[in-house]
Amino acid sequence: MAVLGPLPDVTSGRFRRKDGRRWRSVPVARTARWAVEGFGHCQQSRALVLASAAAPSLRSCLRRCDAAGPLRCRFASFVDADVLVRLGGGRSQGACQLARRCPELQAVTFGAVTYRRLTGLGHSNSRASRQRDARLSLQRQKKEAEAAFGRFATLALARPFVASPAWQPQVCASDDGHSVSLQHPCTQVGGGFFQLSHASKTSQGLTLQISAASSGRKLCADGGSVHLAEAECQLGQWELVHRGWDSLSTSHRDHEACSWFRVTASGSRSIGSAGGGVEEEEEEEEESYYLAAATGPSSSLRLVPATEFNSSQLSACWALGFQQQRDAKLLRIERSDFNIGTPGAQIAEVWLMASRNYQRLLDRLLENLESAGDPVRVHVRWAQDFRDIGKQFWDIRGTSFVFNAAKLALAFEALLWTATAAGPSSGGAAPPVVLLDLDVVVFPGWAPSLRSCVEGDRAADVCAFQQPAHPFELVNSGVLVWRGGAGRGAQSLAHAALAAHHGYEAFMRLVVGGPAALEQLIWNAIFRRVWRQRTRRSVRWGVYNPTLARVGPVPSAALTLRIQHVAWWATMEEKIEAMDRITNLVTAAQQLCSTVGAGCTNRPGTTVLTSEGPLLPVCLASLQVDPHFGPPLECNKLYSTFDPEADRSCFRRLKESEPRLAGLARDFENRLEAFQISSMIQEIGEAMLSQKLH
């Protein structure tokens, strides 16, 4: 029996069953005293910050705030984006900042998240509480909207992947308003804010002018010295170049969540010869110089050519940060938390992001989760509609940044929940966190199968589905499974993704049509970076066997399949039809071959067979490996994907099985159930041809 908490007002379907009966409404107990306030960190002001120091984990940072008491500490900001763990003796330390007040959220250091202490025992779902939260949200949004249109930003060093995490020094104007230097924090109030103007798009980024907000003086580089000038200067037009996410590159310097600032200086060089009566000629040439600084605080800025980028003493990677919005703007106030199965026996925490347009998919997934029978806790959060469900393709321009922000907000709330509020499972450890898209179908045993990748001696910090044939993407981010308890690896991966997200914000705010990417590209860029440069202490990521957990509109081996993300360019109607075909095929195979169960449970000596005895040929053809004579199914891999043979479709498997499985053709002729399975597979193949699916 599924148990549902208070229903969100934003919905119209009201989570009704197909027979019209309403789900029983019972709230889920929550003991957490913290909530996600928003991306970014509180102002780094000595008057507001209680303490700023290293902390090994988010849980440790929150405990420090708890120890200080509610009168002294109400906000905790944390960042740890070190997914490689290459420095500091192998033990990574995050940066923790405690504050009593937090008037605004800033992004001087990319990838930070701020948490707010709750006065009660957690989020209240009462109508009065929602109305009060909505009023406060509108007030905050009005203030933030006014600030968002002002093009004021901070400029700081950005080293999210390769350095020990810390609050980064920022560029600050001097007291006399003529020079700039790196400080942490700025000694002058307002000295760290710059106004951006005259922005225009270029082939590689955008050009803009930068002026100190406190004095109005322009940031110039005349004479090779970076300074503030009141008058016009020759080298005062800066080009902001995004470091990019060229996943095909093999350079170790790609995939940084930052940008370059460069200026182009014109000069001349001599050509020809002055001897023999031939006049010497001069040719104009341009050379680019990049804004750089030494990695320590209180250092001056300088211009360097690209040839000096490899210097370990210099950094040309910059974070252009803006005021951040509070969490209420990313995800709506309305939310629901409920149990599927017996309360207290949940083996996974499932997190879903829904919207009005996707109500049908949400209802279908909730019914699917209940029918599968795995006991899980479900958390539904609501967001705005991002795409037209009647169209096959999604134009991400203008919506990708907000969509990514909502997905990341969901991830950080889920990680906060499992770090502070989730009860232990029967095994004594916190259940894994499963972030699901709504176009997913599940079958009995799906939750233990996903747990197998993030539990045990070789457990990963996060696991994902393998992306079907793609030039550079390794994984599909429609289903992400995080180790329970939000350990350091899971947290650092999420912070690294947020740092990358922050790197796109300047282009989203300043120009139309700047660099844009969905969060899936961000996850893949980080995974590839870790794969190339990992140490034994780096973040551990894994990939599920695509026969077990699949992506696309076509199923694999019907009896091995436990979960499928039905993702491809299609309308909602086309997706629902594909999901129905997959469900019908797998259900028919499971009913005929009732002695076959789930095999990926992480328990030694287990088998997919629930009872001994031979299997029908059609059942053997619907399995990835022969349970009697074949090797055990490899359920997942660390830092690697599976061979394309593991990604074979159901009709290809059937065609290849006919010559080698004696009696398979007889099954199709003499058994109605086997004939129906064959017909369903043929129907899927015909749908592929008619819709040109790949």
Query: Does residue 252 carry a pLDDT above 50?
Result: no
196 near 509, Cβ under 8 Å?
Answer: no
Q: Does one domain contain both 608 and 537?
A: no
Specify the amino acid at residue 207: T
Write down the pLDDT at residue 443: 94
CB 627 within 8 A of CB 616: no
Confidence of residue 518 (pLDDT cuts 50, 70, 90): confident
pLDDT of residue 206: 86
Q: Poorest-confidence range of 269-273, 355-359, 501-505, 650-654?
A: 269-273
In this structure, what token pair is assigned to residue 206? 């955008």
Residue 275 lies in a domain: no
CA distances from 295 to 3, 170, 181, 182, 219 (A): 54, 11, 12, 9, 20
Residue 642 lies in a domain: yes
Residues 534, 436 share a domain:
yes
> What's residue 306's pLDDT?
75
3-class SS at 277?
Answer: helix
User: Is 106 inside any structural domain?
Assistant: no
Q: How many CB atoms lie within 10 A of CB 366?
A: 24
Domain boundary among 505, 525, 548: 548
How far apart, in whole angstroms, are the C-alpha atoms of residue 221 and residue 238? Answer: 9
- Omega prior to 185 cis, within 30 of 0: yes
* 403 vs 377: CA distance, rounded Å: 24
- Name the average pLDDT for the chain: 79
165: confidence class by pLDDT, cuts 50, 70, 90: low
- Check whether residue 577 and residue 682 sit in a common domain: yes
Give yes or no: residues 168 and 306 share one domain. Answer: yes
Reported as a single tens digit per residue, the pLDDT across 486-513 is 788 899 999 999 998 998 888 888 877 6
Query: Could you tell me if 592 and 623 are in contact, meaning their C-beta atoms sit under 8 angstroms apart?
Result: no
Answer with the residue of higher pLDDT: 45 or 253: 45
Token pair of 460 as six digits: 């990963």
Q: Residue 190's pLDDT is what?
A: 83
| Residues in contact with 655: Cβ distance below 8 Å, sequence separation at least 6, in sequence order | none
* Range of lowest pLDDT (56-60, 103-107, 244-248, 322-326): 244-248
In-domain check, residue 442: yes
Least confident window among 377-386, 549-558, 682-691: 682-691
Q: Answer yes or no: is pLDDT of 31 > 70.
A: no
pLDDT on residue 599: 73
pLDDT tens string 436-449: 999 999 999 999 99
Dihedral pair phi/psi, residue 265, rounded to 5°: -105, 135
Tell me, yes or no, whether 314 and 445 share the same domain: no
578 and 524 together in one domain: no
> Which DSSP symbol is given to 690?
H
- End-of-domain residue from the set 481, 513, 548: 548
**Residues counted in the chain:** 694
The least confident of 157-161, 201-205, 540-544 is 157-161
Of 4-8, 98-102, 412-416, 674-678, which gets the smallest average pLDDT? 4-8
Q: How far apart are CA 5 and CA 605, in angstroms?
A: 39
Q: What percent of the chain has pLDDT over 70?
A: 76
Quote the distance between the C-alpha of residue 4 and its chain's center: 27
Confidence category of residue 17, pLDDT binned at 50, 70, 90: very low
Instruction: Tell me which of 164-168, 218-222, 473-477, 682-686 is least confident.
Output: 164-168
Instruction: Please give the residue range of the domain that contains residue 200.
Output: 152-268+283-321
Query: CA 227, CA 263: separation in Å to the nearest integer?
Result: 14
Q: Which of 499, 527, 548 is the last residue of a domain?
A: 548
CATH code for the domain in which residue 14 is found? 3.90.550
Do 157 and 171 form a contact (C-beta atoms < 8 A)?
no
Do 604 and 648 belong together in one domain? yes
- Same domain for 493 and 368, yes or no, is yes
Do both 562 and 537 map to the same domain?
no
Both structure tokens of 254: 């790609």
Domain count, the chain: 3
Is 29 a residue whose pLDDT tops 70?
Answer: no
| Model pLDDT, residue 647 | 77
Q: List CB contacts of 135: < 8 A, sequence separation 6 or more.
A: none
> For residue 474, what are its two tokens?
């390794």
Confidence class for position 675, pLDDT limits 50, 70, 90: confident
656 and 512 in a common domain: no
- If asked whether residues 573 and 592 sit together in one domain, one would say yes
Q: Using alpha carbons, select from 173, 266, 248, 160 the residue that is nearest to residue 213.
A: 173
Whole-angstrom distance, CA of residue 404 vs CA of residue 331: 11
User: Do residues 532 and 564 both lie within one domain?
Assistant: no
Cα 247 versus chain centre, distance: 16
Specify the CATH number for the domain of residue 201. 2.80.10.50
DSSP letter (8 states) at residue 663: T
Q: What is the pLDDT of residues 284-328, one digit of tens each?
A: 567 888 998 876 555 778 888 877 766 667 888 899 999 998 865
pLDDT at position 482 over 90: yes
**pLDDT classification of 255: cutoffs 50, 70, 90:** low
DSSP calls for 304-350:
E-GGGTT-TTEE--EEEE-PBPBHHHHS-S-EEEEEESSTT----EE
